[in-house]
């Protein structure tokens, strides 16, 4: 099977000089992602980092970098819309080139252990061509109830807390507000309202005490993970939510909450390691 060539185009476009931003790819097989059709022997003209022309009989302008494709496949860049690339100090060093090698030209980070200024510094270096990596969207401003599910979270236990947190998220330059699992409904609704006042999308988890329909009505722009859709399809959704609300309102520990979840026929992974 012929290899993909898209990593060549990606690497070229990541560099800021003219030789990289103006490139000519020849003898590639284009993949039409809508129909699946293959067009062999094609050339692609890239000018100012944008595709200017595609065809079989193109020629390379003077001064353009030329890449021989050898018949390899060329596809549009891929996106990974849910990553946690800042989970350790060195993970980007390994992950960023692997994304490019596999044709992923954009990623959306959904929660990080790095401070926002360090994330933005890496983002700027990628955009400047100093570091090879995919386009980076910083959507990891996750907001949870005290004490938080992960280190470094924004914490909000009241609607007033939620509004103050969103003020900070907007000031720091995050691309989105991410809701998390333990928020109560009034705090979640305030979070949604405040996010949209700043024209920031609200993405993330549907909190355990919030119905899917409530989140949709609140304008949640993106839902991470699919479990709440399954609950919303159940005839006992409201009863299940009330059970969770009851034990959480009483300050139940993790074991008590898992007991309620088990009674709802949810799957509990006994191998879960809280230290991970």
- The answer as to whether 276 is a domain residue is no
Give residue-wise pLDDT tens across range 163-201: 999 999 999 999 999 999 999 999 999 999 999 999 999
* Digit-coded pLDDT (tens) for 54-74: 999 999 899 999 999 999 999
pLDDT per position as a tens digit, 205-247: 999 899 999 999 999 999 998 878 888 888 888 888 888 888 8
Within this chain, do residues 53 and 95 fall inside the same structural domain, yes or no? no
State the total domains in the chain.
Answer: 2
Rounded Cα distance, 222 and 201, in Å? 8
Strand-pair category, 38-47 with 23-31: antiparallel
User: Structure tokens of 202?
Assistant: 């609200």
| Displacement of CA 61 from its chain's centroid (Å) | 37
Domain region containing 31: 6-76
Say which CATH number the domain at 135 has. Answer: 3.20.20.140
d(CA 43, CA 29): 9
Q: Quick one: 84 and 213 in the same domain?
A: yes
Angle made by CA atoms 202, 205, 208, in degrees to the nearest 5:
125
pLDDT category of residue 275 using cuts at 50, 70 and 90: low
Task: Tell me, yes or no, whether 72 and 95 share the same domain.
Answer: no
Do 137 and 258 belong to one domain?
Answer: yes
Could you tell me if 163 and 224 lie in one domain? yes
Whether residue 201 is found in the same domain as residue 100? yes
CB within 8 Å of 177: residues ≥ 6 apart: 141, 143, 166, 169, 191, 194, 195, 200, 201, 202, 203, 204
């Amino acid at each position: 099977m012929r290899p993909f060539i898209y990593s060549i185009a990606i690497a070229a476009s990541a560099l800021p000089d003219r030789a990289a931003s103006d490139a000519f790819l020849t003898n590639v097989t284009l993949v039409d992602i809508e129909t699946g059709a293959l067009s062999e022997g094609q050339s692609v003209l890239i000018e100012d980092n944008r595709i200017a022309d595609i065809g079989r009989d193109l020629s390379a302008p003077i001064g353009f970098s030329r890449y021989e494709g050898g018949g390899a496949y060329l596809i549009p860049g891929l996106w990974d819309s849910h990553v946690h690339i800042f989970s350790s100090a060195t993970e980007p060093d390994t992950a960023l080139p692997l994304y490019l090698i596999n044709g992923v030209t954009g990623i959306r980070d959904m929660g990080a252990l790095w401070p926002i200024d360090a994330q933005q510094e890496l983002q700027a270096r990628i955009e400047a061509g100093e570091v090879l990596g995919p386009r980076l969207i910083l959507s990891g401003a996750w907001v949870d109830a005290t004490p938080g599910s992960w280190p470094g979270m924004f914490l909000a236990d009241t609607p007033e807390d939620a509004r103050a947190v969103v003020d900070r998220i907007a000031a720091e330059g995050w691309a989105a507000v991410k809701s998390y699992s333990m928020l109560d409904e009034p705090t979640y609704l305030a979070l949604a309202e405040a996010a949209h006042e700043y024209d920031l999308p609200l993405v993330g988890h549907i909190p355990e005490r919030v119905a899917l329909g409530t989140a949709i009505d609140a304008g949640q722009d993106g839902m991470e993970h699919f479990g709440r859709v399954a609950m919303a399809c159940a005839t006992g959704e409201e009863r299940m939510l009330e059970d969770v609300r009851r034990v959480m309102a009483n300050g139940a520990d993790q074991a008590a909450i898992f007991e309620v979840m088990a009674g709802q026929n949810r799957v509990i992974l006994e191998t879960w390691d809280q230290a991970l």
